[in-house]
Amino acid sequence: MPYESEKTTRKLRIDKLLQTAGWAIIPHTSTLDLSTLSNHAVEELPTTNGPADYALIVNGSLMGVVEAKKVEVGAQNVLQQAKRYSQGAPDTIGDWHGSRVPFLYSTNGESIYYLDVRNSGNLSRQIYSFHTPEALAHFFTDKKEPTINWLQRTPIDNPELRDYQRDAIKAYEDGISAGKRQMLLAMATGTGKTFTTVNLVYRMLVSGYAKRILFLVDRKSLAAQAVTAFASFDTPRKIKFKDEYEMYSQRFQREDFEGESFDPTLLPNEYLTNPDTGKTFLYVCTIQRMAINLYGSTGAFGAESEGDDDSDADVLPIPSHAFDLIIADECHRGYTSKDTNVWRNVLNHFDAIKVGLTATPAAHTTAYFGKPVFNYSLQQAIDEGYLVDYDAVAINSNVLMNGAFLKEGEQVGVVDTETGRERIDQLEDEREFTTTEIEEKITAPDTNQKIVDELKKYTDAFEAEHGRFPKTLIFASNDIQHISHADRLVSICKTTFNRGDDFVAKITGSPNVDRPLKRIKEFRNRPNPQIVVTVDMLSTGVDIPALEYIVFLRPVKSRILWEQMLGRGTRRCNDIGKTHFVLFDCFNGTLIRYFKNASYNFTIDPPGTETLSIRELIEKIYNNEDRYANAKRLAKRLHRIEKNMSGNARDKFAMYIPDGDMGRFAEQLGKFFEKYR
């Protein structure tokens, strides 16, 4: 970078940043009367400790001091100079530990650091744009102490909250009481993150700590679910959330809310562009939608963005103080990844409390939000009976996690990627194919058919035993035009199961899938489809409690994605007496073995693990044979029994265990044997 003087940096960079935030820049003169100014940045304001580079005047009061440096000087460590000028400023609107100006900034034109000196416990932090004059006026009059006091003295007493959900809310409230600005709540898939969040948001609104709240998701299907959850929440006043507080969302299609009476209301643009600090509301939208608001349509992207009905909307001038609190759902997915920096920029644009929600904390997530202030793991939820566990089945195929070695003469399908025409050919020589090449460069029609045939044996046996077909989700390798593995599996399943065209469906983000959000609702709520083939769209965030079979024909090497996919099956469904789900590893069991040591949220028993009777498990525990592992297996078995116990059975077991509560006994059993781990 060519040399740039401080004067040049100020004129080319810092002045523009201030003007963008609504500050009119004027030089100081001996006759200047500060009391006549309203939204001005005064250059070189004299203090007893030297001239301040910029003094921010709001409604005649000196509210801020900006220390400017040339671009090559780091801005973080020069706030001390702003503190010195603040201490030497003329008598203004207060005195805070010797500082006479409440809001201090330092910048080199590229980065900005900010400190509110009124509370000695406050820490400086990086912000990404200057606050507007309106924001500083609001900050000065906004008192957080009474709201914190309300939160501390008001119990989290919604009777529908589980203990761990109350603990999650308390951890967050303790965090804001301690001055934290970014926090991470980690809760296993299916443990009620959304319900916990609704209660958290309600307490923020009632207390007045946060009045303008943004709930961000990265898929419209999740936004629709969140809107429904918030709207239907019964407040302590015995009315719906949407009737007690203003609630808005982005644009949806009517079918996104099929079966729901709620009609979402669009957020007026002026709520974003001209924040009214007196208004109290919740806004639910996708991060793609917010990226469009800030950066235009190029900001809305993603692996399966599902399209945005407002993709032609204008860029909106949204100030950084538009929201007091931002909650980012499923924040492990893209908010900090290398390829989606625009998502991180969306979060950084706002100077608000930011809370990340995830079931699977990852390094890039904690780098942004910090280590979880609360963590409720998947295995813990299973051990305590809130989620169901699973059995693993290995389906033998020619494909392993590291690919397949095909011999001379074996048939493969070679697809013309331009026309979609498939030509069946025979290998002239032995050749190894990676898992990426299979179903992209070549197809294995015989293997796919054998896998589906094997799956049908299990579904037939399940249906004969339980009187219902198990809702089944199949993860395909891809859904690429002309070489779609998902399409091939749909075709094979329709022919093999032969129960009508609606029995099997594809739900992906492909343009040839009509109204995928409606298809998801049908899969969750209607008899058909019973089998759905997907790639990524149903891998996370979608709630289908009745799902009992999950089939992996897609190689997965991401621990986060693996746990999210498994999480589709862990939800309880008392309506059908669901005790567990079944995981089908179509890579000869190599997929499960790959994650045996990598997955810390699941206790995995690989396919083929010997099934012991309860008597045998008790004997092994008594004889001190791998006590912890066998105690976990016993607890798992007892949890399944508990889900189908009759009242009469509970009465009989009450002679041996407290209240005949098998689930509680299993939970305590697991905890007791932790010491043998």
Q: Binning pLDDT at 50, 70 and 90, where does residue 218 land?
A: confident
Residue bearing the bigger pLDDT, 410 or 215? 215
Expressed in angstroms, the distance from the first to the final Cα of the chain is 57
Rounded average pLDDT over 439-444: 48
Residue 611 or 532, more confident: 532
Letter string b/e over residues 371-386, b meaning 16 or more CB atoms within 10 A of that residue's CB: ebbbbbbbbbbbbbbb
Burial class from Cβ neighbours inside 10 Å (0-12, 13-18, 19+) for residue 457 reads exposed
Characterise 398 by phi-psi region: left (phi > 0), alpha (psi -120 to 50), beta (else): alpha
- In angstroms, the CA 69 to CA 429 distance is 68
Confidence at 535, pLDDT banded by 50, 70, 90: confident
Where residue 153 falls among pLDDT bands split at 50, 70, 90? very high
Q: So what's the pLDDT on residue 1?
A: 52
Q: How many whole angstroms separate alpha carbon 262 and alpha carbon 253? A: 12
| Helix, strand, coil in percent for the chain, rounding step 5 | 40, 20, 45
Q: Give the confidence band of 517 by pLDDT, cuts at 50, 70, 90.
A: confident
Query: Residue 551: is its pLDDT beyond 60?
Result: yes
Tokens of 311: 């993709």
The token duo for 48 is 């007893």
Sign of CA dihedral 408, 413, 415, 421: positive
Contact 242/260 with Cβ under 8 angstroms?
Answer: no
pLDDT class of 323 with cuts at 50, 70, 90: very high
Can you tell me the distance from the alpha carbon of 387 to that of 373, in angstroms, rounded to the nearest whole number?
A: 22
Residue at token pair 């295995």 = 379
Q: Where does the pLDDT of residue 674 fall: very low under 50, low under 70, confident under 90, or very high at 90 and above?
A: low
- The answer, yes or no, to whether residue 362 has pLDDT greater than 90, is no
Q: Which residues pair with 183 in a beta bridge?
A: 355
- Which region among 287-291, 393-397, 443-447, 618-622 has the lowest average model confidence (pLDDT)? 443-447
CA distance 271 to 277: 10
Cα 613 from Cα 618, distance rounded (Å)? 9
Mean pLDDT, residues 317-342: 78
Q: Enumerate domains of the chain plus CATH numbers.
A: 6-141 (3.90.1570.30), 145-376 (3.40.50.300), 389-595 (3.40.50.300), 614-676 (no CATH)
pLDDT at 62: 95
What is the pLDDT averaged over residues 624-650?
73
The rounded percent of the chain whose pLDDT value lies above 90 is: 40
432: pLDDT confidence band, cut at 50, 70 and 90? very low
Average confidence (pLDDT) over 615-629 = 72
Is residue 172 within 8 Å of 355, Cβ to Cβ? Answer: yes
Question: Taking a C-beta distance cutoff of 8 angstroms, is the pair 64, 56 a contact?
Answer: yes
Please say whether the beta carbons of 419 and 482 come within 8 A: yes
Count the neighbouring beta carbons within 10 Å of the beta carbon of residue 600.
13
Instruction: Note whether 516 and 506 are within 8 A (CB).
Output: no
d(CA 671, CA 667): 6
User: Are 238 and 299 within 8 A, CB to CB?
Assistant: no
Q: Which amino acid is at 465?
A: E
Q: What is the mean pLDDT of the chain?
A: 81
Least confident of 229-238, 405-414, 455-464: 405-414
Question: How far apart are alpha carbons 389 and 11 in whole angstroms?
Answer: 62
pTM above 0.75, yes or no: yes
Q: What is the mean pLDDT of residues 583-596?
A: 79
Residue 520 or 428, more confident: 520
Asked whether the predicted pLDDT for residue 426 surpasses 50, the reply is: no
- At 636, which amino acid appears? K
Q: What's the rounded mean pLDDT across residues 461-485? A: 88
Q: How far is CA 411 from the centre of its chain?
A: 43
Rounded to whole angstroms, the Cα distance separating 15 from 22 reads: 11
Q: Cβ(288)–Cβ(318) under 8 Å?
A: no
Question: Which of the pair, 230 or 418, is modelled with greater confidence?
Answer: 230
- Check residue 104 and give its pLDDT: 96
State the sign of the Cα–Cα–Cα–Cα dihedral 268, 269, 275, 281. Answer: positive
Look-up: residue for tokens 């999650």?
168
Q: Is the pLDDT of residue 415 over 70?
A: no
Top pLDDT among 608 and 213 is at 213
Closest CA to 258 of 526, 471, 506: 526
Q: How far apart are CA 675 and CA 602, in angstroms?
A: 19
Give 635's pLDDT tier (boundaries 50, 70, 90): confident
What pLDDT, on the 0 to 100 scale, is given for residue 354? 96
Once rounded to an integer, what is the mean pLDDT over residues 214-239?
87
For the stretch 70-91, pLDDT in tens is: 888 888 888 999 999 999 998 7
Is the bond into 2 cis (omega within 30 degrees of 0)?
Answer: no
